[in-house]
Structure 1
Amino acid sequence: MTANPALLLILGAAGVPLLRGLPRRALMAAVPVAGLVLLWALPEGAASGLQFLGLELTPVRVDALSRVFATGFLIAALLTMVYAMHLRDTLQQAMILVYAAAAVGGTLAGDLVTLFVLWELAGLSSAFLIWAGRNERSHRAATRYLAVQLLSGLLMLAGIVLRVRSGAGLEFGHLGVDAPGGALILAAIGIKCAFPLLHSWLTDTYPEATIVGAVALSAFTTKFAVYTLARGFAGTEMLVWIGIVMAVFPIFYAVIENDLRRVLAYSMINQLGFMVVGVGIGGALGINGASAHAVADMVFKGLLFMSVGAVMLRTGTANGSDLGGLYKSMPQTAALCMVGAASISAFPLFSGFATKSLIMEAVGQEQLTVAWLLLLFASAGVFHHAGIKIPYFAFFAHDRGYRVAEAPLNMRAAMAMAAVVCVAIGVAPSLLYGMLPYAVDYVPYTTAHVINQLQLLLLAALAFTVLVRTGLYPPELRSVNIDADYVYRRALPQSWRALSWAADAVRGRVGPVLRRRGGELWEITTGPLRPGSRVARPWSTHLMVWWTALLLGAMLLLAFL
């Protein structure tokens, strides 16, 4: 039977609470590395099958698409575990490994049942990273998060059942929207991938996770969804326009958002939009672009969450209105944050430049002019709200007087490792291109592409500078902005209160009348059964015998008929 790196991660998670000090930290770092070694030791095409309840399952299937995503997940797991080494909370550390195991195992799953089990495990284990905040806000956010994850799982299960009943089988390959259960499975993926109007769980819950938990959340759930989308729905045209909306609308929310972790959550939806566009286009270039950008995003988005988490650890807040001037006391964190900002903004020599350009090239080759222009706008927007806003308001805005210590050594080590990966992919894209599902015949570093990208970034930076200097930039207000979560934060509670008020009013007016009429009806219907009534009086024996004979005869007659 083919070995599964996910099992290695789960075994490591079981060992974390049993160790202390240096042995525990060594185990935390060694397990993802061992998983990487095991993953790349498996030959492409390797698979393992087994019978379970009469079903043919394939728990492990290795191909180029699954390998590149699993590699990204294991790198993200290593970075997160190094970042979490200072914690004394072994629950978080163990759950991160279980969470990573679910993503890796789901990526290697060759059948829909295995995928479903690990889909649910990913949702459950990640909820613990929000509950670990151990306060009222995190508890409520985790409950909402888990409800959404379970809804996604139920939709996927319903889709799988429909496929089995139709005889389509359990193989996890290309599904398509029109296939039996395809629409339900796509809806399940759409929830975890933060499709428009299904996205608010992400911006609602990620900022309430623990500092380390937010880093893990940024890497696994949504990229796991991107993988399933690429595996099952590549080339689905409507995904192009869903991705366009995802790439564009978060910009407007991120600009006015005060909580920097919520800014990064909106930025995550923006980057997911690019990946979904790549999957929708399909083909070699589209799938390569979505896969490469997903791996790069696991690292540079994690780096940005790490840097904001370090700020939050030292200052107790992630609100832009309360931060500024931290470059004086946290210069290393500030520099590493800027590497993440440059990467997400697709600066030349950083990872985003090498990966996002694959998607833009795929859109260009399909001659989707409107889509290309909207993605260009989204590229400028992400530089505006993530590439500039995050480092500016955290480290370089108005000095709030914070004089704090640098981030702990393990945090800076994790951020430095992520920064090295970002620069390595940007400087030598072939390192990542060589792992992609299809051969890459694309060179990102052409004169025209570099100049065009620098012009775009320069104009976006100029716009930000002008808005800030003229006072037109939206101020960082101490508030919570609500978008699609208005439905369950405001609309549903208000509707419930309105219905309760209406029910109380109806009960107050109609209740007494119904009770009076009901009492009268009760008197009429129960009157013959009361003491002294004809039915309640003692009956003679011979009359009872006649009634018994009559009933038995009626039963025999009915049985005969």
Structure 2
Amino acid sequence: MTSPALLLILGAAGVPLLRGGRLRQALILSLPVAGLVMLWLLPEGTSASFALFGLELTPVRVDALSRLFATGFLVAALLTSVYALHLRDSLQQAVILAYAGTAVGGALAGDLLTLFVFWELAGLSSAFLIWAGRTERSYRAGMRYLVAQLISGLLLLAGTALRVQEGHGLEFSYLGLNGPGDALILAGVGLKCAFPLLHAWLTDTYPEATVVGTVALSPFTTKLAVYVLARGFPGTEMLIWVGVVMTVFPIFYAVIENDLRRVLAYSMINQLGFMVAGVGIGGALGVNGASAHAVADMVFKSLLFMAMGAVLLRTGTVKGSELGGLYKSMPQTTVLCMIGAASISAFPLFSGFATKSLIMEAVGQEHRTVVWLLLLFASAGVFHHAGIKIPYFAFFAHDRGFRVPEAPLNMRVAMTMAAVLCVGIGVAPNLFYELLPHTMDYAPYTAPHVINQLQLLLLASMAFTLLVRTGLYPPELRSVNLDADAVYRRALPAGWNALTRTVPRLRRTVGTPLGHCATALWDTTVRSSVNGRVIAPWSTHSMVWWAVLLLGGVLLLALL
């Protein structure tokens, strides 16, 4: 059975072999389309299995959940490929297709070993999109990114090995938290999904990728992790609170961040939090909500990164303190960016409204009031920093005098395709709901729901306007905001440098006297004469006292 993943990966190898022109562009665009056709020609329930060393492997398994995510990955691959058509760097174009293929392969994997292989290939291939920047910053960021991905894969492999040792086999289905192997797998997935305190690799590295690279990074790695959570850990209570924390804390970082691509990186963590919380709620509505929002996020987050990439391409910067007034020279990009902003903010008639409401409804049906209120606060926050801040500071705000050409035609086509999908899902959500893994009866466009959402968005916009007009809104400043990455970028290097300076000093000040003492003690005990004090015969009562003292010391240490 041929997998769409192999089609993309093998087809990507042929991209650099073709010189630039129509032929290479045709190959780049035809691979995701052919993958979509191949995926939907595979009947639901299709699987291909074989035995290896007594273990059953299932490289391809097609069901509603895997098909939904694989479809999202292939659509995102098509959008990104169109966006990258203007590149002369065939390596980036090939890596995008191979990277998308690894995500599709992971979504269709029916066993943990196959998942691990595609998991690691995804991390390795995507690192090249950061290194493609060909700067010292991008090289170092790519290395940090690769280390995080490899650690995630090692945790997944270790957890898989423990499960096999416990007799659970390699089947990739519901895992739960029933043993140390499951905990290790969840830790590996959590690292790739940017759980709190494990998230710094995302905000550290995504903004260092190329214009096209950041767009390609946004839909695949983290959404593959969401898929694994939805498959292996639905209904896990811990994930509810992990997701809530993920939705809330990035808001505060995004408000003070000056780099607009880094603002979108924090916004990505915020949206991942909604998905993780939906998986934690579990049930048909929770899993459907997490899955639907993941696929919608692949589109509208890509659209926002595309808009910022176009701005970066034309102006050379995405710093909020340096931008403004671009709506005059880039009106089409401005409108398309605002569609992405409306989608991520869950405006009615846009995709985020149709998908995020499933998660909120699932939380409400579980009567989790505190969780629901925190997610509501996070919804207002994402409108504040992604729905308003991004388009406002990039295209409006103060006119910095930029008069630049519009984005290249292929970029605008890709953004238009993404915008059409955002509006299509929002206008006709029931068609999208039919693709979800569980059947449900849910209508997002009810009067109370629409009115409540519009009230939330109106109050959030009024708060933003008030803060800006009164000067209380944090200004866009050229600054570096330290996050959890300060641990491995500042604290650990500083500690290592201090240790390397301290050890030679201790060797000189303490080591030399201790060496002399040890030599003297050795001379006293070993090289002394037979009549020496230490090796001379000791009386019985002296040995008894020494034994009592040693035993008392051991007991005292045990008590402490």
TM-score using structure 1 length = 0.92
Distance in 2 separating the partners of 1:90 and 1:515 = 63
Q: Which moved more, 1:414-423 or 1:490-499?
A: 490-499
Cross-structure match for 2:15? 16
Counterpart Cα distance in 2 of 1:286 and 1:495: 44
Deviations 1:281-307 (A, max 9, x none): 111000000000000000000000000
Give the drift of 1:18: 1.3
Shift of 1:522: 11
Deviation at 1:503, TM superposition (A): 1.2
Match of 2:360 in 1: 360
SS in 2 for 1:16: coil
Instruction: Report the secondary structure of 2:352's partner residue.
Output: helix
3-state DSSP class of the match of 1:254? helix
After TM superposition, the structure 1 = structure 2 runs for residues 322-361 of structure 1, keeping only pairs within 5 Å, are 322-361=322-361
> Quick one: distance in 2 between partners of 1:471 and 1:440?
47
Q: Write the letter of the residue equivalent to 1:36.
A: L
Is 1:167 equivalent to 2:167 in the alignment? yes
State the AA in 2 paired with 1:31. L
Say whether residues 1:141 and 2:136 are aligned partners: no
Q: Secondary structure at the residue paired with 2:243? A: helix
Structure 2 match to 1:157? 157
Tell me which residue corresponds to 1:290: 290
Answer yes or no: is 1:460 the counterpart of 2:460: yes
Per-residue deviation at 1:494? 2.0
Indicate the residue corresponding to 2:266 in structure 1: 266
Structure 2 letter corresponding to 1:10: I
Q: Does 1:478 align with 2:455?
A: no
Task: Please state whether the residue corresponding to 2:69 is helix, strand or coil.
Answer: helix
CA–CA distance in structure 2, aligned partners of residues 346 and 333 of structure 1: 20
- After superposing the two structures, state which structure 1 stretch, 427-436 or 264-273, moved more: 427-436
CA shift for structure 1 position 50: 1.8
- The whole-number CA distance in structure 2 between the counterparts of 1:30 and 1:467 is 48
In structure 1, what is the equivalent of residue 77 of structure 2? 77
Whether the 8 Å CA contact 2:55–2:169 is kept in 1: the answer is no
User: What's the offset of the Cα at 1:91?
Assistant: 1.0
> Structure 1 runs of 4+ off > 3 angstroms?
511-525
Amino acid of the structure 2 residue aligned with 1:503: V
In structure 2, the residue matched to 1:114 is 114
- State which drifts further: 178-187 or 297-306: 178-187
Instruction: Name the CA distance, whole Å, in 2 between partners of 1:211 and 1:57.
Output: 38
Aligned to 1:3: 2
- 2 CA distance for matches of 1:37 and 1:236? 35
CA distance in structure 1 between the aligned counterparts of 2:180 and 2:250, rounded to whole angstroms:
33
Deviations 1:173-193 (A, max 9, x none): 000112451000000000000
Aligned equivalents of 1:150, 1:193: Cα separation in 2: 14
1:507 positional shift: 1.7
Number of equivalenced pairs = 526
CA distance in 1, matches of 2:63, 2:180: 25
Q: Distance in 1 between matches of 2:432 and 2:123?
A: 28
Q: Deviations over 1:95-121 (max 9, x none)?
A: 111110110000000000000000000
* Partners of 2:327 and 2:396 within 8 A in 1: yes
How far off is 1:502 after superposition? 2.2
Is there any run of 5+ residues in structure 2 with no aligned partner, and where? Answer: 528-560
Aligned-residue offset at 1:511:
4.2
User: CA offsets, 1:204-257, max 9 Å, x none?
Assistant: 000001111101110000000000000000000110010000001100000000
Q: Contact between 1:341 and 1:386, CA under 8 Å: does it hold in 2?
A: yes
1:428 aligns with 2:428: yes
- What is residue 92 of structure 2 aligned with on the other side? 92
1:250-261 matches, cutoff 5 A: 250-261=250-261
1:387: how far off?
0.3
The answer as to whether partners of 1:159 and 1:182 remain within 8 angstroms in 2 is yes
Structure 1 partner of 2:532: none
**In structure 2, C-alpha distance between the alignment counterparts of 1:180 and 1:254, rounded to whole Å:** 35
Identity of aligned residues (%): 76
Residue 516 (structure 1) shift: 5.9
Contact 1:166 1:180 (C-alpha < 8 Å) held by counterparts: no
**Amino acid in the other structure paired with 2:318:** A
State how far apart, in whole Å, the 2-side matches of 1:92 and 1:16 are: 10
The 2-side partners of 1:285 and 1:80 are apart by 30
Query: 2-side partners of 1:479 and 1:60: how far apart?
Result: 47
1:504 corresponding residue in structure 2: 504
In the other structure, the counterpart of 1:62 is 62
> Partner letter of residue 11 of structure 1?
L
The corresponding residue for 2:557 is none
> What residue identity is the alignment partner of 1:204?
D
Unaligned runs of 5+ in 1: 528-561
Once residues 24 and 517 of structure 1 are traced to their aligned partners in structure 2, the CA distance between those partners, rounded to angstroms, is 76
Query: Amino acid of the residue matched to residue 201 of structure 1?
Result: W
Once residues 72 and 209 of structure 2 are traced to their aligned partners in structure 1, the CA distance between those partners, rounded to angstroms, is 22
Q: Give the Cα separation in 1 of the matches to 2:151 and 2:488.
A: 15
TM-superposed deviation, 1:496: 1.6
Cα separation, 2, equivalents of 1:93 and 1:52? 35
- Give, in angstroms, the shift of residue 508 of structure 1: 2.2
Q: Deviations over 1:522-550 (max 9, x none)?
A: 9999x9xxxxxxxxxxxxxxxxxxxxxxx
How far apart in 2 are the matches of 1:363 and 1:72? 25
Aligned AA (2:11): G
Partners of 2:130 and 2:138 within 8 A in 1? yes
Task: Look up the SS of the partner of 1:48 in the other structure.
Answer: strand
Distance of 1:308 and 1:253 partners within structure 2: 18
Instruction: Provide the residue aligned with 1:246 in structure 2.
Output: 246
Q: Which amino acid is the alignment partner of residue 216 of structure 1?
A: A
Residue 144 of structure 1 aligns to a residue in which SS? helix
Q: What does residue 547 of structure 1 align with? A: none
Larger of the two Rg values belongs to structure: 1
Normalising by structure 2, we get a TM-score of: 0.92
Alignment of 1:198-237 (within 5 A): 198-237=198-237
The amino acid across from 1:268 in the alignment is M
Instruction: Name the CA distance, whole Å, in 2 between partners of 1:368 and 1:524.
Output: 74
Q: Which moved more, 1:51-60 or 1:140-149?
A: 51-60
Write the distance in 1 (CA, Å) between the matches of 2:515 and 2:183.
49
Tell me, yes or no, if the aligned pair for 2:106 and 2:119 is still in contact at 8 Å: yes
Could you tell me how far 1:394 is from its partner in structure 2?
0.4
Counterpart in 1 of 2:533?
none
Partner AA of 1:142 in structure 2: G
2:132 corresponds to which letter in structure 1?
A
Q: Which moved more, 1:488-497 or 1:99-108?
A: 488-497
SS at match of 1:17: coil
Q: Is 1:13–1:97's contact at 8 Å kept on the other side of the alignment?
A: yes
